[in-house]
């Protein structure tokens, strides 16, 4: 029985993706009952070919493909829709999120006797990125935290674990993956945080630039702030008032 689904959004990561998949397989071997879903977001390199070849000897590896690029949030959403596990883990396809962190990420939600934790958010320490990327991220996280009060210092970290049904109940929009703590809290879920390590990219280059992130970030931030303010809280009336 599949308990955990690991969803990896990826685009043009042929040089990194197999190592990452094999690292995940080793990291979760002791847990059992998991699947790995790589959602290829219309890669133009050999990503799909190398994944399908590896899947021949790894039956719990599933490969989904987008015929055109939809972005990271679209890839995550496709993977969650196709998943069989009640708990989802995500991490980036470039290998910068170490797979060894997955058991630490899963521990709070799998051990949650109350059922209140909806999301476990990884927060990178000793981040292995360029100075400009770290500076841009620090500014964006500070602004986002001030506006949304989501209590998370690093929402851009790809390492996350969450309840599948809770995720699918969230409003879906492009770039939503950057706002999961605020969106889960909006729906009344508790958020747990886990510090995670970070690696330098092994090969290839990022599919996003600081300018691209900034251009869409302002509009997204305003939209999410609006969603939080407009949240409707349902009420249950006593039987005699229905």
- For 62-114, what is each residue's pLDDT tens digit? 999 999 999 999 999 999 999 999 999 999 999 999 999 999 999 999 999 99
pLDDT tens profile 144-178:
666 676 778 788 899 999 999 999 999 999 989 98
Which fold, 4-231?
Spore Coat Polysaccharide Biosynthesis Protein SpsA; Chain A (3.90.550)
pLDDT tens profile 171-225:
999 989 989 999 999 999 999 999 999 887 666 566 554 445 555 566 677 777 7
Task: Quickly list DSSP for 41-94.
Answer: -S-SSSHHHHHHHHHTT-TTEEEEE-SS---HHHHHHHHHHH---SEEEE--TT
Nearest to 180 by CA among 104, 73, 84: 73
pLDDT tens profile 30-51:
998 999 999 999 999 999 999 9
- What pLDDT, on the 0 to 100 scale, is given for residue 112? 97
Nearest to 120 by CA among 194, 178, 187, 189: 194
- What pLDDT, on the 0 to 100 scale, is given for residue 128? 55
């Amino acid at each position: 029985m599949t308990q955990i689904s690991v969803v990896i959004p990826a685009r043009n990561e042929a040089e990194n993706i197999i190592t990452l998949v094999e690292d995940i397989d080793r990291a979760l071997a002791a847990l059992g009952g998991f699947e790995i879903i790589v959602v290829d977001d219309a890669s133009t390199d050999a990503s799909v070919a190398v994944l399908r070849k590896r899947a021949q000897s790894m039956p719990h590896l599933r490969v989904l493909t987008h015929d055109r690029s939809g972005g990271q949030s679209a890839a995550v959403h496709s993977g969650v829709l196709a998943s069989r596990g009640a708990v989802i883990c995500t991490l980036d396809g470039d290998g910068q999120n170490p797979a060894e962190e997955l058991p630490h990420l899963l521990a709070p939600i799998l051990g949650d006797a109350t059922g209140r934790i909806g999301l476990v958010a990884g927060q990178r320490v000793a981040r292995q990125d360029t100075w400009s990327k770290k500076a841009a991220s620090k500014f964006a996280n500070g602004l986002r935290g001030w506006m949304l009060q989501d209590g998370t210092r690093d929402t851009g970290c790809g390492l996350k674990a969450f309840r599948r049904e809770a995720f699918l109940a969230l409003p879906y929009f492009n770039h939503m993956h950057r706002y999961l703590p605020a969106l889960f809290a909006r729906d009344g879920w508790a958020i747990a945080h886990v510090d995670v390590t970070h690696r330098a990219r092994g090969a290839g280059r990022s599919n996003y630039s600081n300018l691209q992130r900034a251009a869409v970030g302002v509009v997204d931030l305003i939209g999410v702030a609006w969603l939080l303010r407009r949240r409707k809280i349902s009420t249950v009336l006593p039987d005699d008032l229905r």
